[in-house]
Amino acid sequence: MGISSSSKKKLDTSNTPVNDGRKKKANHPPPLQPLPENKAEEAEKTFERMAESPEKSPNVKKVDEGTPKLDESAIISETKVKVEDKNETNEDSSHAAAKVSGIKMPIDLYYLTPSAPCRAAMMTARIVGVELNLKVCNIMEGDHMKEDYGKMNPQRTIPTLNDNGFILWESRPIMAYFVNQYGKDDSLYPKNPKDRALVDQRLYFDMGSLYQGIVEYYFPMIFHSTPLNPEKLKALEKTVGILNTILDGRTFSAGDHLTIADISLAVSVSNLEAFEFDLAPYPNVKAWFLRTKDALAPFGYEEINQTGANMMGSFLKSKTG
C-alpha cells in the first residue's frame, strides 16, 4: 500500500529558514562513515568480549529473576559508526569562531548505532532537516560512566542531545523537541490538543508496552544468554495484538499522516522483524509497517534504522544458534 500525496507533501523538507537563524538543508546529511581502522578494531573487540561474557555488561540492570530493567542505554556496542575525530583545541576554536560570527553549531547527539531510541531520534532529525554532530557513546567501554557525561546526563543514558548548551535525554522528548524547535510545521507532532494527545498516547504505548515487551523477552538472552521465556513471549504477542487493534482502519498510528509516534513504533517493530518475530497474525501491523517504511525511506530508514536493527538481529542469532 502506498502513501497518500498529502502525506508526502507534509514530509517536504525544502530549504526553509527556522526561527533561530538555522537554515534547513534540502540535501540530506552524508551517510554515516565507518570508524578509522584502529577504532573499528577496538569496537569489534568490545563486541566479541560482550559475546563471550555478557554477564559483565555494565548497562543492564536486573529485576525480577534476571529480567533486565528497561534502560535506553541497554543496547549492544556497534562495529561501524561515524566518528568525528577532532582534538579539543580544534573543537574549542571552532566554537569560538562560531560565537563571533553568530552561526550556530550543529547539534551534538550522543548515540550508538544499534540503539533503537537513538535510531528514532536520528531519523526524526533527518526529516526535520536538523544537522547532527554525531558523537559515539560506547557504553560497553564505559563512556556513559565518565564524569563529564554524568554531569551532562545524570541518568547516563543514550541518546543525549546537546543543542548549544541545552541538554536533553530520552528519545521521545528529543524527537518532540526537534519538531517543536525546528520543524517548519507541526505535522510530525500536531499542536492541536486532541491530535497531540493521540500521538503522545502512542509514544507512551511504545515506551511502556511494546518496546518494554521486546526488552523483557529478548534482552535476557542477548545480554545474559538466559533462555527465552515463553510467558514473556505471550505477553509480547498480546501487546502486538493491541497495536494491531489500534491500527485498524488507520493509515498511520495517530491519523492519516506520519508522526513521531510512527517513527518510534516502527523502530520497535523493525527490531521484532530483525528478531524474526512472526507478524503474519497481525495484518494491520504489517500493512502499517510497510507504509511507514515507505514514508521513511527518503530519510535514512535503511542507513540509520535498518543497519542498527540488523546488528541486533545478528547478535540474537549468535546466542540462539
At residue 13, the pLDDT reads 39
Is position 115 annotated as part of the catalytic site?
yes
- Looking at 7, 115, 209, 264, which residue is catalytic? 115
By percentage, how much of the chain surpasses pLDDT 70? 67
Contacts of range 166-171, beta carbons closer than 8 Å, 24 or more positions apart = 169/72, 170/72, 170/117, 171/72, 171/117, 171/118, 171/120, 171/121, 171/264
Q: Which domains does the chain have, with CATH numbers?
A: 193-320 (1.20.1050.10)
Q: What is the mean pLDDT of the chain?
A: 77
At residue 137, the pLDDT reads 87
Closest C-alpha to 109, from 66, 167, 54, 195: 167
The 10s digit of each residue's pLDDT in 190-234 is: 999 999 999 999 999 999 999 999 999 999 999 899 999 999 999
Which residues neighbour 223 within 8 Å (Cβ) at sequence distance 6 or greater?
A: 54, 55, 57, 60, 68, 74
The 10s digit of each residue's pLDDT in 231-260 is: 999 999 999 999 999 999 999 999 999 999
pLDDT confidence band for 99 (50 / 70 / 90): very low
The 10s digit of each residue's pLDDT in 13-30 is: 333 333 444 444 444 444
How large is the average pLDDT for residues 290-315?
96
Question: Does residue 81 carry a pLDDT above 70?
Answer: no
At residue 143, the pLDDT reads 79
The 10s digit of each residue's pLDDT in 150-185 is: 898 898 999 999 999 999 999 999 999 999 999 999
Which residues neighbour 151 within 8 Å (Cβ) at sequence distance 6 or greater?
A: none
At residue 225, the pLDDT reads 93
